[in-house]
Structure 1
């Protein structure tokens, strides 16, 4: 599930949920909404996964 991957990412990078939402989905309430049962569209899920992968590559590139 996307929310589980996001929660792991938030812990891994000590990132606030609102910051993640703004950066990954242009919606500061995105993570809160997912926690409350929102089901993202397939394209949104792919975009968010792409954001997390790119962030990991950038953060670990040194």
Structure 2
């Protein structure tokens, strides 16, 4: 799952907690944890994740 690898790299580079990433992208704090356990996001969610990563988390809540 290439998108999970991208997420993991982003989390390492930004030192962002997995739950915060999930909340910001999908309003789901378990998103990354579930993906690590085999959850396959649908195409629409993958697009949201890719857009978030490409934007460099623009508009991130403080």
TM-score by length of 2: 0.85
Q: Answer with 1 or 2: which has the greater Rg.
A: 1
In 1, the alpha carbon distance for the partners of 2:34 and 2:27 equals 13
Q: Which runs of 4+ in 1 moved over 2 A?
A: none
Q: Tell me, which stretches of 5 or more residues in structure 1 are unaligned?
A: none
In 1, the alpha carbon distance for the partners of 2:52 and 2:3 equals 12
- Structure (1 or 2) with the greater helix fraction: 1
Q: RMSD of the alignment, in Å? A: 1.1
Map of 1:27 onto structure 2: 28
Q: Secondary structure at the match of 1:38?
A: coil
2:55 pairs with 1:54: yes
TM-score by length of 1: 0.85
